[in-house]
Amino acid sequence: MASLRPRQQTSTARSYGFVLAVAACFGLMCFLVGYSAGTRGPMPASTVDQPPGIGSPLGNMLGRLGRPLAPVGQLDHDPLESFMEVYEQLRANFYQPITEEDKTKLAYGAVRGMLRELGDPYTRFMDPKDYASFRQDTQGHFKGIGAELRLDLNLLRIVVNRVYSGNPAAKSGLQAGDWIVKVDDRATDDMSIDAVVALIRGEQGTNVTLTVYRPERPITALDPEVAKRIGADADEPRRDPAPFDPTKLLDIVITRDDVTVPIVESEMLPNQQGYIALNTFNEETYRQMAEAVAALQAQGMKGLILDVRQNPGGSLEEVIKVVSYFVETGPVVHIEAPRRPLEALQVQPRFDGHFGLPMVVMIDGMSASASEILAGALQDNRRATVVGEKSFGKGLVQTVLKLSDDSALVVTTSVYLTPNRRNINTRGIEPDIAVPWEIEARREALREADANKTPLIDWDIQVQAASQHLAELIAGTAKVGGPNPASIEPAPAAQATP
């Protein structure tokens, strides 16, 4: 028994030593945690995308010990926290109360500003009113003035792209090429195209005043002389709208009315050539086009000219239907998106029109987006000869995302490629047969033709060139794609001005 006593004393001593060691470690840990918290401030309750174990008190402490401590006053800040701080400071310190209406304006304004900093003019925000107006566009029937607007990416101005004859805008003197500077005295400098359209539309019988700048000649970039006068660099990419001469502004008062924008226009040209113009791609385009083709075939059509000049695009689903009407198999377009494999959107057989006649498709500098998908698909499949001018070059796909308050986010989600995987963004579709036509000369010819009721084939030099080539396709003396010269001379009839 005596021999066991010293061992019991040693064991007891070791137990006390272990307890003291644990207590010392715990005290040191508490000291380090307190020191770290006092130096860097409290840790968030939880974080995302961290390794397992981080987020617990011990894990937070180990995480702190694993990296250097920042000097006081040099904390890492999340910019979104700064945004909320600004909002709370406004609520606490602004000299007037922040109302519910103010909260909506501040929130929407912040979203628009955030999207603007992305540098992509196609990614935009639509408030509930803008979004409701946007949805009306898919039907082609609404109360308004009967004009098509576009955002000029060089000028950063809202420009009148087209004025539809017989509608209020045409009757009031609005012209293609006019810059919309104000709508009812509200400057459009910082507005999206959807916001401008929403302001212009309204109740039937009410008036809207458009303040417009009408350049003496078409302007596609900042005039160097104007830039010099305002102290700007004409070669530097602009983020502000292009300036204008304030002494040359026009106020045009337009009475809103029921407007029906023609989606599809058709007629039979000489020599049994069918002509169909697609003005946009919305939910009615395929159906109306198919009906127009059937009507022309009933009249004995021998070939078709499909005109998408001045067509800014529209629904991707609708253009796939249209291409499927003329092309039997294969991809209509490829979609290239980050973190996803290349996706081929195929021809849809249920929309096949069993149309085997020769074809020409017409494009110009304002044929964009869905129009370019159409032209690229018909060109790559050797289904039609492309005639006219190089297209706009918008090879980006936008997705409309409805938000919880009936507003919407339009966001660029992907790039599209033609069936042969050509990326035409900023490059455009090159015509097989180029027929250049200055925009002002075309507008003047259109004005005279409207005034004199001149048939299309007698004044439109690009239609004449398309008709000439289509006749050769019908006769079998030319192949799809044509001779592919740099340009061709217009037919003699183009020189006649009735």
308 class by beta-carbon count within 10 Å (0-12 exposed, 13-18 middle, 19+ buried): buried
C-alpha 209/C-alpha 205 separation (Å) is: 13
The CATH code belonging to domain 264-495 is: 3.90.226.10
Q: Which pLDDT does position 131 carry in this prediction?
A: 85
Q: Which pLDDT does position 3 carry in this prediction?
A: 34
321: Cβ–Cβ under 8 A, 6 or more apart, which residues? 285, 286, 348, 351
The pTM assigned to this predicted structure is 0.65
E strand spans, 133-240: 141-144, 147-152, 157-163, 179-183, 186-187, 207-213
Give the amino acid at 68.
Answer: P
Does residue 369 have an active-site annotation? yes
Query: H or E stretch including 249?
Result: strand 249-255
Catalytic member of 133, 182, 394, 467 = 394
Is residue 75 within 8 A of residue 43, CB to CB? The reply is no
404: Cβ–Cβ under 8 A, 6 or more apart, which residues? none
C-alpha 72/C-alpha 39 separation (Å) is: 7
Catalytic member of 380, 390, 460, 467 = 380
Q: Which pLDDT does position 169 carry in this prediction?
A: 93
Any idea where the domains of the chain sit in the sequence? 141-260, 264-495
pLDDT tens readout for residues 390-424: 999 999 988 889 999 999 999 999 999 999 999 99
402: Cβ–Cβ under 8 A, 6 or more apart, which residues? 131, 408
Q: Which pLDDT does position 325 carry in this prediction?
A: 98
343 class by beta-carbon count within 10 Å (0-12 exposed, 13-18 middle, 19+ buried): middle
Does residue 307 have an active-site annotation? no
Does residue 380 have an active-site annotation? yes
66 class by beta-carbon count within 10 Å (0-12 exposed, 13-18 middle, 19+ buried): exposed
- Three-class DSSP category at 365: coil
In angstroms, what is the C-alpha Rg of the chain? 33
Taking 70 as the pLDDT cut, the residues of the chain under it are 1-77, 136-142, 217-239, 482-498
343: Cβ–Cβ under 8 A, 6 or more apart, which residues? 334, 335, 336, 337
* C-alpha dist (Å) from residue 28 to 32, 35, 68, 402: 6, 10, 18, 54
Q: Could you tell me how many helices (H) and strands (E) the chain has, helices first?
A: 14, 19
C-alpha 98/C-alpha 100 separation (Å) is: 7
The CATH code belonging to domain 141-260 is: 2.30.42.10
Q: Which pLDDT does position 140 carry in this prediction?
A: 53
Fold equal for 141-260 and 264-495? no
C-alpha 374/C-alpha 361 separation (Å) is: 9
C-alpha 80/C-alpha 38 separation (Å) is: 24
Catalytic member of 369, 371, 391, 407 = 369
Instruction: List the structure tokens of 88.
Output: 């709370």
